[in-house]
Structure 1
Amino acid sequence: MKEPRLLLALCGPAALCGSLLLAGPRGGGYHLITKYDLGPAPGGKEYWDYLTFDPPSRRLYMSHNTEVKIVEADSGKIVGSIADLKRVHGIALVPHLGKGFISDGGADEVVVFDIKALKVTGHIKTGGNPDCIIYEPASKHVFTMNGKTNDASVIDPSTDKVVATIPMGGRPEYAVADGKGMIYDNIEDKNEVVTLDARTDTIKSRWPIAPAEEATAMDMDVKHQRLFVGGRNKLLAIMDAETGQVIQTFPIGAGVDTNIYEPGTGLLFTATREGTLHIFHEDTPDKFSAVETVKTEFGARNAALDPKTHRIFVDTADFGPAPEPTAEQPHPQPMPVSGTFRLLVYGR
């Protein structure tokens, strides 16, 4: 649904430096730089979810139905693929072990692969429909948020074994780690955020996200302890990660799926299925302001950030008309057209 980033400030006294950082350039003027056609999904059915950007290799790991596409961020060249999966959601990288971990929701498992060889090395059974997947550095564990069984699977990446299963009290969605042992996760069907201590595998708090609802996207300003919660009722909520208090909200487009905070610029990016990229600025930890709303393309709800170039990557496809309503699907959505999957790059 997302990576710790470093604040670098070269200025005088610390208090002044902090205020200058947040009051810096506001970062408007984002527009489409280029786009790359990435070809059809295996089997012909288009589906995509999380994007993971790896700064050292400058590669994007892109979920694409039954495969993970690995793409050079600077050229759009496809350099590899991990195929023969069921329904890919997310990709977490553990570089010091040379491993990557894929949440395959269709198989109720995590697929392990070698980062250099791009070859599958193992399969780990998890709870039902593992969706969001993250590596938490304090515990040195990988966590999957399982949407079918309403729990989290805790994996030791050194042994590729599940070491704990944590009941989440509802359907877990996007999660973010603070790097110090705490994980914050959206519980979509309960309209709340839970705090999970990754060192003890226990839930510590449950906080309502009202007036936001059905939260999917999440990211965090670790330094100032602010959570960014994207609700499917078209509201972005900014929450104090120490108290759970919602301190500000903004209207956003329909179908939010990604929030990305960039510490170096104080910018917050929110991508929606409607085809909008909302950009906000952290003026102070208690006051954010809207910078601009960039029109992208319908379906471009998943995103990743390149911290070097400050560019945003989103993926989507062409869409055909929605099918006729049925009892099982009373509100069908437009269907993506096979073979039109593409990567869009936005920058200034």
Structure 2
Amino acid sequence: MTQPLLSILLLGALAGAPAQQGPAPAYRVATTWPVGGEGGWDYISVDHAGGRVYASHATRVEVLDLASGRKVGTIPNTAGVHGIVVAQGRGYVSCGKTNTVVEFDPKTLAVTATVPTGTKPDALLYDEFSKRVFVFNNGATTATVLDAATGQPVGTAELGGAPEAGVSDGKGTVFVNLEDKSEIVAFDAKTLKEKHRWPLGPGEEPTGLALDRAHRRLFSVCANEKMVVLDADNGKVLATLPIGSGVDGVVFDEGRQVAVSSNGSGTVTVVHEDGPEKFSVAQTLATARGARTLVLDPATHRLYLPTADLGPAPAPTPAVPHPRLSTVPNTFRVLVLE
């Protein structure tokens, strides 16, 4: 065999070989943005194009400048706020205590409409394929579906369980965790018909959900301190990894091939995708107690986690038999990881 032909064959073999993953990045808490005020929190959202971070905060949304962390405004009267999403020139906020979604203008922050939903709307998802906003009603078994460009309801997806966070594959399928069933359900983003329903195996009471679109891998984080990795095409459980307690969020950074869970116990767990069916815990980083949700800015690879200092829990009531710890006034803040 001649040397040129050998070189051609070797190059062809390398081109067909699977890409080798680099080492997982090491995260650090780069800075903290003080916000202040009183009350609890849930999700946080980044609008990179608009240069803003939206942080849920009890009865309002705190709006922060993405570059500096400086507070630039507030969206008030969003009682029981959970999720925030900006899409198609409009912003949407789920209000768990009023069973509504508040629509706002991202430029002026003015409220422009209020839309009824199912019971206890929680996580929000914008699906760019269908150009719809999915409102996951945790107190029901449904998702209220809105046209992102108009804010008008266009349907209701029946999910068969209490939904938590959802993700889209960008090709017409939406996946969502069912907290009470310990399942993931997949449905068509346009017809709203169920496609698949998969058990999470060793995972119990799932909350956050992330997706590696390129390799079709789902990452579901669960209350029993497990991250379950599934094949997004057939639901096969590929791996189960240990994480911290009190988890409520997870993101996947496609550029760095890591899934990061935010654990309310005061850590983040970084799981590296070593290969198609191989995953490993690459880092456990101390953050702050209560930092249980997070968001990724894919453009900068930074992570944002809201939290506050915590005090004793209030006395249980029939309506709230297991109250969360109280929050210390004026300690609400956002941790920035990079």
TM-score, normalized by the shorter chain, greater than 0.5: yes
Q: 1:330 to 1:63 in 2, by over 3 A?
A: closer
Q: Is the 8 A contact 2:161 2:180 kept in 1?
A: yes
1:32 maps to amino acid: V
For residue 56 of structure 1, the aligned residue among 27, 37, 49 is 49
SS, match of residue 314 in structure 2: coil
In 2: Cα distance, 1:341 partner to 1:286 partner: 39
Which one is further off, 132-141 or 213-222?
132-141
Q: Does 1:212 align with 2:203?
A: yes
Q: 1:15 to 1:305 in 2, by over 3 A?
A: farther
| Partner of residue 70, structure 1 | 63
| Partner of residue 202, structure 1 | 193
Q: Does 1:315 align with 2:306?
A: yes
Q: Does 1:38 align with 2:29?
A: no
Could you state the TM-score of these two structures normalised by the residue count of structure 2? 0.92
Q: How far apart are 1:330 and its partner, in Å? A: 5.3
Bigger relative contact order, structure 1 or 2 (CA pairs below 8 A, ≥6 apart) = 1
In structure 2, list runs of 5 or more residues that go unmatched: 1-10
Q: Does 1:27 align with 2:18?
A: no
| Partner of residue 167, structure 1 | 158
| Partner of residue 7, structure 1 | none
| Partner of residue 5, structure 1 | none
1:19 maps to amino acid: A
Q: Trace 1:196-275 onto structure 2 (pairs within 5 A).
A: 196-275=187-266
SS, match of residue 43 in structure 2: strand
Cα shift readout 1:31-87 (whole Å, capped 9, x = no counterpart)? 22111210104xxxx111111112223321111111111111221101121112211
Task: Note the aligned Cα RMSD (angstroms).
Answer: 1.8
Q: Trace 1:114-129 onto structure 2 (pairs within 5 A).
A: 114-129=105-120
Q: 1:122 to 1:333 in 2, by over 3 A?
A: closer
In 2: Cα distance, 1:58 partner to 1:134 partner: 19
2:312 maps to amino acid: P
For residue 331 of structure 2, the aligned residue among 306, 318, 340 is 340
| Partner of residue 100, structure 2 | 109
For residue 144 of structure 1, the aligned residue among 122, 135, 151 is 135
SS, match of residue 281 in structure 1: strand
In 2: Cα distance, 1:60 partner to 1:162 partner: 26
Which one is further off, 236-245 or 73-82?
73-82
Q: Percent identity?
A: 42
| Partner of residue 184, structure 1 | 175
In 1: Cα distance, 2:272 partner to 2:40 partner: 31
2:30 maps to amino acid: I
Q: How far apart are 1:325 and its partner, in Å? A: 5.0
In 2: Cα distance, 1:114 partner to 1:92 partner: 12
1:155 maps to amino acid: L
Cα shift readout 1:158-180 (whole Å, capped 9, x = no counterpart)? 33221211221110110001111
Q: Is the 8 A contact 2:90 2:149 kept in 1?
A: no
In 1: Cα distance, 2:50 partner to 2:107 partner: 10
Which one is further off, 307-316 or 138-147?
307-316
Structure with greater Cα Rg: 2
Cα shift readout 1:120-165 (whole Å, capped 9, x = no counterpart)? 1111111111111111122221110101122111111333221211
Q: 1:84 to 1:324 in 2, by over 3 A?
A: closer
Q: Is the 8 A contact 2:78 2:93 kept in 1?
A: no
In 1: Cα distance, 2:319 partner to 2:104 partner: 36
Q: Does 1:83 align with 2:76?
A: yes
| Partner of residue 3, structure 1 | none
| Partner of residue 133, structure 1 | 124
Q: How far apart are 1:14 and its partner, in Å? A: 5.0
Which one is further off, 302-311 or 217-226?
302-311
2:47 maps to amino acid: D
1:91 maps to amino acid: I
1:36 maps to amino acid: W
Q: 1:14 to 1:90 in 2, by over 3 A?
A: farther
Which one is further off, 130-139 or 219-228?
130-139
